[in-house]
Structure 1
Amino acid sequence: MTLTKQHVRDVVDIYIRAWTKQDPDLILSIFTEDATYHERVLGEPIATHGGIRDYWQSKVVESQANIECELLSLYVDGETAIVEWEARFDDLVRGIRKRMREVALLEFDGALIRSLREYWASETIG
């Protein structure tokens, strides 16, 4: 399969929908079974569907609310995509509203993501 911008856009749309709807089952639908997910790229990656599900349950479902996200840019080179998005959400742990800008490197294996590495910054808003 040749990776196209439209396919990446479709996958990122599912990612954003899974995030805003806080749906761990939906997020797993875009990752290979043995995928790695680097939330903090200098730390150890989260591995496999089980690890990604646990991460999303604790980080997204239990710790965030009122999530909004918008895709800003998307680039494809071979089997790798680079995407940028901006999100706003309530950080339930800290009791604040955040704005986050993120760049993610997505490496694909066919139609699914086999590796995701996030680079982001956030700030408190309103």
Structure 2
Amino acid sequence: MELTKQDVREVLDVYIRAWEGQDPDLIITIFTEDATYHERVLEAPIPNREAIREYWESKVVASQANIKCELLNLYLDGSTAIAEWEAEFDDVAQRVRKRMREIAVLDFEGRQIAALREYWSSEKIGDLVDGSPC
């Protein structure tokens, strides 16, 4: 069965729900067991689903809050998708509100992500006071 844009959109809907809901149990449902996740493409990838869960627990659950994300564009060529999204979130560690624009290249096996490579940039859009944006 051929991968469709609708299939990819449904997977990305889960990705966004998991991110906004800070849910590491949900995020791993869309990755293959031996998936790789490149948050920074010039560094070693996160090597498998359990490591992706651990990354999400430390990066998304412990370090971010008040996450909002919107899918802007989606392209599909065979089993490779390119998604562009914009997100805003509180960076708890840095105590600032950030906006991030990202392009992700996703290689699929069936209806799961086998490899994800992120290319992103972020900017500070506000300071946090007592855990909330000002």
Bin for the TM-score computed over the shorter chain? over 0.9
Partner of 1:36: 36
1:83, distance to aligned residue in structure 2 (A): 0.2
TM-score, length basis structure 2: 0.93
Q: How many residues align?
A: 126
Amino acid of the structure 2 residue aligned with 1:80: T
User: Aligned partners of 2:34, 2:25: CA distance in 1, in Å?
Assistant: 15
User: Aligned partners of 2:4, 2:49: CA distance in 1, in Å?
Assistant: 24
Q: Deviations over 1:68-104 (max 9, x none)?
A: 0000000000000000000000000000000000000
Partner of 1:111: 111
User: Aligned partners of 1:62, 1:30: CA distance in 2, in Å?
Assistant: 21
1:27, distance to aligned residue in structure 2 (A): 0.3
Query: Rg larger in 1 or in 2?
Result: 2
User: Aligned partners of 1:69, 1:20: CA distance in 2, in Å?
Assistant: 7
Instruction: Give SS of 1:8's match.
Output: helix
TM-score, length basis structure 1: 0.99
Instruction: Give SS of 2:94's match.
Output: coil
Unaligned runs of 5+ in 2: 127-134
Partner of 2:15: 15
1:63, distance to aligned residue in structure 2 (A): 0.1
Partner of 1:67: 67
1:32, distance to aligned residue in structure 2 (A): 0.2
Partner of 1:54: 54
Partner of 1:101: 101
Partner of 1:26: 26
Partner of 2:45: 45
User: Aligned partners of 2:3, 2:73: CA distance in 1, in Å?
Assistant: 16
Partner of 1:89: 89
User: Aligned partners of 2:67, 2:87: CA distance in 1, in Å?
Assistant: 7
Segments of 4+ moved more than 3 angstroms: none
User: Aligned partners of 1:99, 1:30: CA distance in 2, in Å?
Assistant: 25
Instruction: Give SS of 2:83's match.
Output: strand
User: Aligned partners of 2:13, 2:99: CA distance in 1, in Å?
Assistant: 19
1:49, distance to aligned residue in structure 2 (A): 1.2
